[in-house]
Structure 1
Amino acid sequence: MNLISCCRWEEANHEDGVKWKFLEHKGPYFAVPYEPLPEDVHFCYDGEPMKLSLAAEEVATFYGKMLDHEYTTKEAFQKNFFGDWRAEMTKEERKIIKHLDKCDFTEIHKYFFDRNEERKALPKAEKQKLKEEASKLQEEYGYCILDGHREKIGNFKTEPPGLFRGRGDHPKMGMLKMRIRPEDVIINCSKDSTIPEPPPGHKWKEVRFDNTVTWLASWTENIQSAIKYIMLNPSSKLKGEKDWQKYETARRLKDVVGHIRSQYRKDWKSREMKKRQIAVALYFIDKLALRAGNEKEEGETADTVGCCSLRVEHIQLFPELDGQKHVVEFDFLGKDSIRYYNKVPVEKEVFKNLKRFMENKDPDDDLFDRLPTSTLNKHLQDLMDGLTAKVFRTYNASITLQNQLKELTNAEDNVAAKILSYNRANRAVALLCNHQRALPKTYEKSMQNLQAKIDAKEEQLKEAKKELKKAKAEHKKYNTEKTKKELEKKKKQKERLEEQLEKLKLMATDKEENKQIALGTSKLNYLDPRISVAWCKKFGVPIEKIYNKTQRDKFAWAIAMTNEDFEF
């Protein structure tokens, strides 16, 4: 899923300073219609082949494609899928298909697996042809005209139908993501532009002319009733300016954060309970990078919480634990149903206040019962114009990266070692922000392959050392120009192999340390890119080692304007 197209309504609909004059585009490109299975590919129920209606067959293929995935082993996924699948069946199909464990999707899975392998094995000319077709599509739908400039669009395709996965143990995993149709889509463009034509036989839900936002099309997805967007590519001038503003707001916090921290410490002893709760919540947002805890979207059933919506059951207090005093244990589901589990020592006054907030309350009572999210947000705005919990996360993430890079980087290291230091600094940020990921399916295999490369390289080095020893003996014995050249050649060969081996070992260390940490989220959304660019320039690390092509496009403004002396 393209990150840019999935922004929340609030993020896309309140864009300070955004006012374009002209916007023209072709509208979204819709997912291709379903192509029925060949006659010789069967779905079986209770051991017998069964021909499904087109709608039921399409949903069956979504499950069949995922048959080897961990998701299809999960009870919630199976239950949600089966419920939604039955809703797509005919009355007759529902009478027959009553148990998922009697369904056999093996042939469907094999069919799509084989097709995928065939695509990989296509001749070069065929692959080139597909590439050219994709380029034509990009040319037609992937650009817009914004105020006289041709700008790239972030993701011009609607998401195809499929099964919702979610992150963490999401209660809606396995539900059917419906096909997006033109009738679901709101188009945004200028009144004086050529309004995009919907596909034949269809019409748009609405055509809007709103020049205060940067989205080109939007629709509401059926799983969580979240509004999805087609927006400008991150490399566009407008997006670059918004990015710059975001990080500048976080930099402004640097000038007042000392005062804010002094004030919330004072308020821990306030006579007013509301003030105390605001002060403790702000301490958590500042020190632990917790989200504020906005109200759930319509249709959201996952029991996810943020700072303001924490309940008594989500924390435990320990006067002393593992040699540390005043320890708070957090255990709750955060954004995207990712578990937040942490044991942290807090300041004595915070600990005392938490104890007081929990008095005479049941486990499912609110911890901060005097503090709705709206109150905290207003308080943050009063402290600094534009201040939100997200600004705190951006500020603390960026400061953490900058400080960690200063601490971990050794100017004498080679590029591979410096990149390891960078990733360790980035990991400190990911841990702060609770950016976790499941262990990749390919992790064990890729580590085995990497270890095999290390073993092979060690053998080569062992052999190279023997040859060098032999060359030294030869040169000592004959001392000719020829033996001298041979000795130099063997020395360089050994040094090159040592460098290659070190690089492989650093790669293995990096892979192991980051196996369950998602470094990309903080790097793309919370870390001021100027810190990374300045570090690259200062320590001679190629920027492409830190940012891929797409990321370099997104942060082109930072790469162009930043020198090695930049300080967040």
Structure 2
Amino acid sequence: MPQDSDSEDDVPLGARVAARAKQTETDAVMKNDDSEDEDFVGGSRKRSRESKPVTVKEEPKAESESDEDDEESDSDSEDEEPLNKRKAIAKKPPVKMAPAAKSPKPNPVNENNNKKLFWETLSHSGVLFPPPYEPHGVKLIYDGRPVDLTPAEEEVAGFFAVMKDTDYAGKAVFVKNFWTDFQRILTPKSKAIVKDFKKCDWTPMYNYFFEQREKKKQMTKEEKLQIKAQKEVEEEPFTHAMIDGKKEKVGNFRVEPPGLFRGRGEHPKMGKLKERIKPKDVIINIGRDSPVPACPIPGEKWGEVRHDRTVTWLAGWKDTINTKDWKYVQFAATSSIKGESDQKKYEKARKLKDFIERIRKDYRAKMKDADNKIAQMATATYLIDKLALRAGGEKDEDLADTVGCCTLRVGHVTLIPPHTIHFDFLGKDSIRYDQSHEVDPVAYKSFGRFMEGKKDEMDIFDKINPTEVNSHLQELMPGLTIKVFRTYNASITLSRLLKETPEGTVAQKKSHYDSANKEVAILCNHQKGESKAHAGQMQKLTEKKDQMEAELKELQKEKPMSAKTENKIRGLKERLSKHMLSMSMKEELKTVSLGTSKINYLDPRITVAWCKRNEVPLATVYPKTLVEKFNWAMEVEPEFDF
């Protein structure tokens, strides 16, 4: 779910804020907050993305493991921008469909209602709120004159000021949304003065934050350790919870501080104000006989206290940006609760092996059916199986125009004879899906049939919706969902590719593993934008390669060549080979996100067994966080086959 802030000393403040503190891709996706660091930004604390509570659509779900595609639920992350810089299909109004069924609101009173119960006793300390805003008194300059702002106004102004030199501050949508919300919180007195965004000068505030950052960098080691120790004392009561008498780690106990929403890709809500969450917004879920956590803010109280044993979340509140979403405090990824859930998830995907041929035979036959609804359902199932597409679903008009299998429109698809289909659309989190696939000839004909006579803005699958698709999958196999299908295909693909591992060094075997992981990431459309630092990093690696090659050339000039020189040459060649392999993989993976599939779609037993069979240290492919998360998989036999 972060890296010591001192490591960013040479990076401009605006760039640091826009990029955030990022430890590793794995940590970023995991949403676990073990080692989170915080920076003072805009007078309040800024968190890294890892400590964000899990975001879930609608109301609490019945089971903790039912979190579909939780790996990308954090919609406020700019760490992995989508590859949508090229021109994508223009946004068109979607054809209205029947809405997906909403999860029922848990009933805290009647707990014997045929739902699975996850615990008998549960106790915890609630959530940790960000500190209250402390005004700094630095003025906003408007039309050349300083303006006195209230603390609430100053705080929001600071959110923009600290970002004034970032790419976000140059985006029209970001500025428009910020300005609308800023005007909304201004008092009549301030609103009468601050009328035009273009007349605002944020420089004094920006300079103030920069100076605060510099002061922090100048702290002694002892001062930093003292701050860290104080932080640990504040957090200690919230880091663990007791469930059925067992102490388990909590993964995300902090309430997100206010700030400006960024989102992924060109999100239409970027720049909007994420308002401060208060106790009245929070639902506490706890055992009936456990003491309710004391509300930490004087004069306020929790919005609700529940005793719902059909879920494992500890607290929740509505997202202030996407108000249909809920954010939940969950147990940590390394907890036994999550471990059991993961193991069940992968076993369910593994079970699909017993049904897959029957399912494929079924959809191959039904794609030819004269009834368009039957044929569309079969073709959608084919796409979910073969291309790992999500179902898609209707969303609010002010959200990004993202689609999935069921919501594909004619303009998203190009048919290329004899049977290739090119897809170009924005998938989940505005990640662009721009791929061509050679498909089953029957599926190709079906697409032509479904698209015939329709305009670009019309739905291809106009006879079905995501709810019906999920119901259909349940008929094919008990417990089968689109997430299970994606997990199965991701894991089976990795397992197949790893069986082709050639003999070689550990570095060569790791390269093969990364290539296999890349194929899975492409299958699942796990992409990221090329890092701004990539070109510079590659330049340094190239310079190092040139230096090694020059050294090798110089050593080879020695005549006659001594044994010592021969050993040097041998060692240098090995290092050069490893370095060039590393360079090649870095370039190859610059727009592919490997961590998402590793954490959420690939059965860890495949990786652990592969490492054992090939004598590759697990740390070569798994960071410590994943070893802890998947500790249940560590004892798997080398012969394990998914």
Using a 3 Å threshold, how does the CA distance of structure 1 residues 462 and 340 change in structure 2: closer, same or farther?
same
User: How far is 1:32 from its partner?
Assistant: 1.3
- Which residue number in structure 1 is paired with residue 46 of structure 2? none
1:565 alignment partner in structure 2 = 639
1:448 aligns with 2:539: yes
Superposed CA deviations along residues 76-96 of structure 1, whole A, max 9, x for unmatched, are 111111111111212232233
Aligned mates of 1:228, 1:373 — CA distance in 2: 23
Deviating above 6 A after TM superposition, structure 1's stretches of 4 or more consecutive aligned residues are none
Q: Which of 435, 460, 464 pairs up with 1:367?
A: 460
Q: Which runs of 5+ in 1 are unaligned?
A: 320-324, 476-486
What is aligned with 1:529? 604
Please say which of residues 6-15 and 547-556 is displaced more in the overlay: 6-15
What RMSD over aligned residues (CA atoms) do the two structures have, in Å? 2.2
CA contact under 8 A between 1:177 and 1:223: conserved in structure 2? yes
TM-score (norm 1): 0.90
Please say if 1:385 is aligned against 2:478: yes
Q: Point out the more displaced range, 100-109 or 417-426.
A: 100-109
How far apart are the structure 1 equivalents of 2:206 and 2:496?
Answer: 49
Q: Whole-Å Cα distance in 1 between the matches of residues 550 and 148 of structure 2? A: 58
Matched with 2:258 is: 161
> 2:522 is matched with which residue?
431
Q: For residues 258-280 of structure 1, what are the alpha-carbon distances to aligned partners after superposition, in whole Å with 9 as ceiling and x for unaligned? A: 11111101001113221100011
- Secondary structure of the residue aligned to 1:34 is coil
Is the CA contact (8 Å cut-off) linking 2:54 and 2:330 kept in structure 1? no
Shift in CA distance, 312/379, structure 1 to aligned 2, threshold 3 Å: same
C-alpha contact 2:51 2:254 (8 A) present in aligned 1: no
Contact 1:224 1:300 in 2 (8 A): no
Matches of 2:282 and 2:120, distance apart in 1: 22
Counterpart of 1:77? 174
**Contact persistence 1:186–1:217 (CA under 8 A):** yes
Return the alpha-carbon distance in structure 1 between the equivalents of residues 631 and 52 of structure 2.
16
Distance change in 2, residues 1:453/1:47 (3 Å): farther
Deviation at residue 100 of structure 1 after TM alignment: 2.4
Aligned to 1:316: 414
Q: CA deviation at 1:44?
A: 2.1
1:395 is the counterpart of 2:395 = no
Letter matched to residue 347 of structure 1: D
| Structure 2 residue aligned with 1:208 | 306
What letter matches 1:516 in structure 2? T
Distance 1:146 1:394, change over 3 A: same
Whole-angstrom distance in 2 between the partners of 1:456 and 1:35: 52
Question: 310, 333, 339: which is aligned to 1:240?
Answer: 339
What's 1:249 paired with?
348
2:238 maps to what in 1?
141
Which whole-Å CA distance do the structure 1 matches of 2:59 and 2:554 have between them? Answer: 59
Q: Which amino acid aligns with 2:242?
A: I
For structure 1, which segment, 550-559 or 228-237, has the greater mean C-alpha deviation from structure 2 after superposition? Answer: 550-559
Correspondence for 1:58:
155
Equivalents in 1 of 2:210, 2:496: separation in Å? 47
The partner residue of 1:376 within 448, 469, 476 is 469
Letter in 2 for 1:355: G
Inter-CA distance 42–11: structure 2 relative to 1 (3 Å threshold): closer
* Alignment partner of 2:431 out of 303, 313, 338: 338
The SS at the match of 2:458 is coil
Is 1:352 the counterpart of 2:427? The answer is: no
Letter in 1 for 2:275: M
Q: Give, in whole Å, the separation in 1 of the partners of 2:199 and 2:226.
A: 42
1:315-353 CA-to-partner distances (Å, cap 9, x unmatched) read: 22232xxxxx22222222211122222222222221221
Report the AA paired with residue 224 of structure 1: N
Question: What secondary structure does 1:2 align onto?
Answer: helix
- Are 2:576 and 1:501 equivalent residues in the alignment? yes
Shift of 1:110: 3.1
SS of match in other structure, 1:173:
coil
**Cα distance between partner residues in 1 of 2:337 and 2:543:** 47
Deviations 1:85-124 (A, max 9, x none): 1112122322332332332222323332343344344322
Instruction: Name 2:56's counterpart in structure 1.
Output: 8
Bigger-Rg structure (1/2): 1
The change in CA–CA distance for 1:374 and 1:170 in structure 2 (over 3 A counts) is: same
Report if aligned partners of 1:380, 1:388 keep a CA contact under 8 Å in 2: yes
After TM superposition, list the pairs within 5 Å mapping 1:25-44 onto structure 2.
Answer: 25-37=124-136, 39=137, 41-44=138-141
Tell which has more relative contact order, 1 or 2 (C-alpha 8 A, sep 6+): 2
1:289: Cα distance to partner?
0.7
C-alpha distance 111-543 of structure 1, shift in aligned 2 (>3 A): farther
Structure 2 counterpart of 1:484? none
1:362: how far off? 2.9
> Share of identical aligned residues, percent?
48
Question: CA 1:299/1:343 → structure 2, altered by over 3 Å: closer, same or farther?
Answer: closer
What SS is found at the alignment partner of 1:132? helix
Match of 1:404 in 2: 497
Q: Does 1:260 align with 2:359?
A: yes
Query: Which residue identity does 1:19 align to in structure 2?
Result: F
Q: Give ranges in structure 2 of 5+ residues lacking alignment.
A: 1-48, 66-115
Contact 2:53 2:255 in 1 (8 A): no
- State how far apart, in whole Å, the 2-side matches of 1:11 and 1:465 are: 69
Within a 5 Å distance, the mapping from 1:156-235 to structure 2 comes to: 156-199=253-296, 200-225=298-323, 226-235=325-334
Give the equivalent residue in structure 1 for 2:3. none
Count of residue pairs brought into register by the alignment: 541
Letter in 2 for 1:306: G
**Cα 1:63–1:465 shift into 2, 3 Å:** farther
Identify the match of residue 286 of structure 1 among 380, 385, 395: 385
User: Which of 374, 392, 402 lines up with 1:304 in the alignment?
Assistant: 402
Distance 1:43 1:453, change over 3 A: farther
Q: What TM-score do the two structures reach when normalised by structure 2? A: 0.80
Q: Helix, strand or coil: the match of 1:195?
A: coil
| Cα distance in 2 for residues equivalent to 1:523 and 1:118 | 39
> Is the 8 Å Cα contact of residues 154 and 231 (structure 1) preserved in structure 2?
yes
Distance in 2, Cα, partners of 1:85 & 1:162 = 12
Contact 2:52–2:256 (Cα < 8 Å) also in 1: no
Q: 1:552 to 1:135 in 2, by over 3 A?
A: farther
Is the partner of 1:303 in helix, strand or coil? coil
Q: Which moved more, 1:281-290 or 1:54-63?
A: 54-63
Q: Is the 1:381–1:388 Cα contact (8 Å) retained in structure 2?
A: yes
- 1:453 deviation in Å? 3.1
Hey, what does 1:270 align to over in structure 2?
369
8 Å contact kept, 2:474–2:480? yes
Q: Distance in 2 between matches of 1:395 and 1:371?
A: 24
Q: 1:341/1:550 Cα in 2 relative to 1: closer, same or farther (>3 Å)?
A: same
Q: Is the 8 A contact 1:24 1:145 kept in 2?
A: yes
Letter in 2 for 1:386: G
> Deviation per CA, 1:349-394, whole angstroms, max 9, x where unpaired?
2122112212232322221111021111111000000101111111
Tell me, yes or no, if the aligned pair for 1:23 and 1:144 is still in contact at 8 Å: yes
CA distance in 1, matches of 2:449, 2:50: 44
CA contact (8 A) 1:12 1:214 kept: no
Distance (whole Å) between structure 2 residues aligned to residue 521 and residue 118 of structure 1: 36
Q: Secondary structure at the match of 1:8?
A: strand
